[in-house]
Amino acid sequence: MKNIIVFILLALLSACQGNVGGHHHHDESEEHHHGNSAEIVIEPEKAEKLGIKTIKTEYVPFGGIITASGRIESDNSDSWDIVANISGLISFTKKNIGIGSYVSTSEHLFSISSDKMNSQNHSVELAKCKAELTKAENLYSRLEYLRQEKLATEDELIKAKTELEVARADYDRTCNAVGSRLSTPHNGYITSLYIENGQYVEEGQSIATISAGKEILIVADVPARYALSIKEITGANYSINGKIYSAGERISGSDIIASNGTTIPIHFKAEKVEGIAVGMPIEVILKLSNSREVLTLPKSAIAEKYGKYYSYIKIDEECYKEIEISLGASDGYSIEITSGLESGLEVVSEGVYYVKMSGSNGSIPHGHSH
């Protein structure tokens, strides 16, 4: 009897152990399917289609940062003035001309009606000068050809060229006796307009300023409390409408405080970017030379959730892990990572959105499931 009882107890114990083992096996299957809550699974093929890319974290030189308000100004070395060549009433020849208008060398922008318009013989003189100019042009062209064929002398060609220049000067002078048309010598944008349509102008008066628009000035109004750091500025970026651009080369700036008594202006010359106009307010991010070795990530590698910041490290071919990080200074492109990461990790730098969404709901957008 005692043996029977022992046998029954052993059988019950074995059954209990079997049930526990079966339940544990079920848990392992669930964990493999769904993954640990801190791990995200994305197959390599899907990651490639989604544009998910990674970089290795490493310590790099990173200087101090000063953030200042600023503005866009025109580059005077890249601009020129249109000037009245006679006195008279000015008219706008180009329609809808104004500040910001694009103008080309093929356009007549302004016309000036001269004080000398009352000359009754002007039309006769103009026709005569035009005929003389045409005659001189034809003669020079013919002698130029004959000279190539060795059928005219060099002296004859020089004489014809002189007569052509005299005829052209006479024609221009006669035209200006009644009026003048003004154009731009180079293509560009009008940055300043000094007169109004129908206004009287004097000979030599500036009509407009035109800029080629290839370069602009970035002016950073650095708070005066950073005066001792001005000499350490090595470069800058600027931010406008949420986008970051290089401020280019520093061309001026000292520790002299501006007339407002609170800022120090620092100037940079940069290439003009489409959609950016003179006068726009900007934020300037100034980089200092006092660099130190820090971990940094591009802005695209950082995700934000509920006021906290995260990056995603790649564990193996298809597994990623979300890591909370702390941020330091930023130069507009890269951000210092003060905690959460170490050197040598493989971190998602592009496609962070898809990894984040996959980690949030267990699936990638557009119906993907693992």
Q: Are 201 and 90 in contact (CB under 8 A)?
A: yes
Q: Are residues 332 and 281 in the same domain?
A: no
300 and 287 in one domain?
Answer: no
Residues contacting 91, CB < 8 A, separation 6+: 110, 111, 112, 113, 197, 198
Domain-ending residue, one of 274, 291, 308: 291
Domain-ending residue, one of 250, 276, 291 = 291
Task: Please indicate, yes or no, whether residues 351 and 306 belong to a single structural domain of this protein.
Answer: yes
Write the pLDDT tens digit of every residue in 284-339.
999 888 778 889 999 999 999 889 999 999 999 989 999 999 998 888 888 999 99
Residues 248 and 298 occupy one common structural domain: no
Q: Look up the CATH number of the domain holding residue 246.
A: 2.40.30.170
End of a domain among 273, 291, 309? 291
Q: Provide the residue-wise pLDDT of the chain in tens; the chain has 370 residues.
A: 445 544 544 454 444 444 444 434 333 333 333 333 468 899 999 999 999 999 999 998 887 888 999 998 877 777 889 999 888 888 898 888 888 788 888 888 998 887 554 444 556 766 787 888 899 999 989 988 888 888 889 888 889 889 988 888 877 776 655 567 888 888 888 888 999 988 999 989 999 998 887 888 899 999 988 888 888 888 899 998 888 898 988 887 666 666 667 888 999 999 888 777 778 889 999 988 877 888 999 999 999 988 999 999 999 998 999 999 999 888 888 899 999 999 999 999 999 999 998 877 655 544 444 4
In a domain, 111, yes or no: no
| 310 and 284 in a common domain | no
Position 361 scores a pLDDT of 64
Same domain, 357 and 302: yes
57 in Cβ contact with 345 (< 8 Å): yes
How far is 58 from 294, CA to CA, in rounded Å?
A: 8
Residue 109 within any structural domain of the chain:
no
Q: Answer yes or no: do 312 and 359 share one domain.
A: yes
23 located within any domain: no
Q: What is the pLDDT of residue 82?
A: 92
Q: Are residues 137 and 157 in the same domain?
A: yes
On whether residue 310 sits in a domain, the answer given is: yes
Domain count, the chain: 3
Degrees to nearest 5, angle at CA 79 with 77 and 83: 130
Give 110's strand partners: 92, 182
Q: CATH no. for residue 152?
A: 1.10.287
**Res 179: pLDDT:** 67
Are 339 and 353 found together in one domain? Answer: yes
Residue 337 lies in a domain: yes
> What's the domain range around 71?
65-75+213-291
Question: What's residue 152's pLDDT?
Answer: 85
CA distance 336 to 60: 10
In a domain, 30, yes or no: no
CA gap 268, 278 in Å, rounded: 14
Which pLDDT score is estimated for 36?
39
The answer to whether position 86 is within a domain reads: no
Which tokens go with 281?
A: 């307010």
237 shares a domain with 173: no
Q: Please report whether residue 324 resides in a domain.
A: yes
Does residue 280 share a domain with residue 247? yes
CB 48 within 8 Å of CB 313: no
Give me the count of residues in the chain: 370
Pick from 198, 314, 218: nearest CA to 269: 218
Contact, 31 vs 330, CB < 8 A? Answer: no
Cβ neighbours around 99 below 10 Å, total: 14
Predicted local distance difference test score (pLDDT) of residue 207 = 94
> What order of strands is seen across the sheet that includes strand 215-223?
243-246, 233-240, 281-288, 65-74, 215-223, 263-271, 249-253
Same-domain status, 54 and 71: no
